[in-house]
Amino acid sequence: MSDLQTKLGGGLNKIQDSFQQGKQKLQTVQEMSQFKKEIQDISESRSSLILRLGEEAYRKIRTGELQDSKLREFTADIAKLDSQIYQAQKALDSLNQKGATKTCSNCGGTIDREDKFCGFCGQKQETPASSNDQTELISCPACEEQIPANGSFCPCCGSRLAL
């Protein structure tokens, strides 16, 4: 009888042990995921700070405030990307304008911004002031992109324009 009790007791102990172990394992897993999350959060904050640092350094190198030949190699590559983004943005803008609509002042119909006559009532339309096409272009001294002459900053690379 005592033999059976010992066996039973041992079995119970084993179950309790493994239960404890399981609990500890769960705790460890929870702690681990907490640390993982912490690392991820801190890394994200770090990345955004590095990004700000990079943007600031990039700006300073472009304006000549910061002289560093190694960093300059970086900025040459970034400048190429800036230029590509600028070109794509320009293309996007002009497509946007093409697709833009307006309301006919006579009948209220929705017509193309570029339309000379309303497709509904035939009303002659005022030609839209294509301000963008007539702005004088200059070459940015920093990135050499063709940009409007009337801004204080280059829309492509963000350099301050000495006017």
Which 119-158 residues touch Zn ion, going by CB under 5 A?
120-121, 123, 140, 142-143, 154, 156-157
Strand-pair partners of 138: 147
Q: Please list, residue by residue across 28-57, b when 16 or more beta carbons sit within 10 angstroms of its beta carbon and e when fewer do.
A: eeeeeeeeeeeeeeeeeeeeeeeeeeeeeb
Smallest separation (angstroms) from Zn ion to the CB of 162: 12
The residue among 35 and 117 lying less far from Zn ion, judged by its C-beta, is: 117
Per DSSP, the chain holds a count of helices (H) and strands (E) of 3, 4
- Residue 74 and residue 64 in contact, taking contact as beta carbons nearer than 8 Å: no
61 contributes a contact to Zn ion by CB under 5 A: no
Of 61 and 157, CB closest to Zn ion: 157
Alpha helical stretches, state H, 64-155: 69-99, 131-134
Interaction between residue 118 and Zn ion (CB under 5 A): yes
Which residue, 8 or 121, is less far from Zn ion as judged by CB?
A: 121
Min. distance of Cβ 36 from Zn ion in angstroms? 42
Binding letters toward Zn ion, positions 78-107, x by CB under 5 A: --------------------------x-xx
Closer CB to Zn ion, 97 or 123, in the complex: 123
Query: Given the complex with Zn ion, which of 54 and 59 has the nearer CB atom?
Result: 59
Number of residues that this document lists for the chain: 163
Burial pattern 73-94, b for ≥16 Cβ within 10 A else e, equals: eebeeebeebbeebeeebeeee
Q: Contact residues for Zn ion (CB under 5 A)?
A: 104, 106-107, 109, 118, 120-121, 123, 140, 142-143, 154, 156-157, 159
